[in-house]
Amino acid sequence: MRTTPSIFFGADHNGFRLKQGLCAWMSRRGYRVVDLGAHSLDPRDDYPLFAAMVARAVARGQGLGVLICGSGHGMAIAANRNRRVRAVLCGTPFSAKMARHDDHANVLVFAAWETTLPRARRILGTWLGTAESRIPRHRRRVAMFSKLSR
């Protein structure tokens, strides 16, 4: 029996609506959804705080992460400050598949300004449905990521 991982969500006000839609969709699919904020459309929020909360949970091995801000760039930069996090901004199902398979991405980032809810569902579904590669060259390269951040 396959266990369903917890999914930690974080978004700023720009990504709030997309996050809400994805959280509801993931809950209906049986995932344990942990919404770490934002919890409103208040533009005074600071996206690095949400990225840090999600990154810490992922780094502790508690599940996978999804981050959303306007461009996606800031969330990816902030999340990747943690050496155990491999956050990727994906705009297509193919890029999500390759990020998960080859690079063992454990945080998926969306650009709310460019991503509709139906497209985000396809991307997230593909990412979650893709196994991490067991190919030695991929595993070797992923191991190099941690060494780069020391």
Q: Which tens digits make up the pLDDT trace of 101-136?
A: 988 999 999 999 999 999 999 999 999 999 877 866
Catalytic status, residue 69? yes
Distance CA 125, CA 70 (A): 21
Q: Is the pLDDT of residue 140 over 70?
A: no
Q: Both tokens of residue 145?
A: 């990521």
Per annotation, catalytic residue among 57, 69, 88, 96 = 69
Q: Is the pLDDT of residue 142 over 80?
A: no
pLDDT at 135: 67
Q: CB atoms < 10 A from the CB of 63, how many?
A: 18
Distance CA 144, CA 18 (A): 33
Q: What are phi and psi of 138, to 5 degrees?
A: -70, -45
Distance CA 42, CA 44 (A): 5
Q: What is the pLDDT of residues 3-44, one digit of tens each?
A: 678 999 999 999 999 999 999 999 999 999 999 999 999 988
- Does the pTM surpass 0.95? The reply is no
Helix (H) or strand (E) holding 107: strand 107-111
The answer to whether 99 touches 87, Cβ cutoff 8 Å, is no
Q: What is the pLDDT of residues 41-86, one digit of tens each?
A: 998 899 999 999 999 999 999 999 999 999 999 999 999 999 899 9
pLDDT at 149: 63
Domains defined along the chain, listed by start: 6-148 (3.40.1400.10)
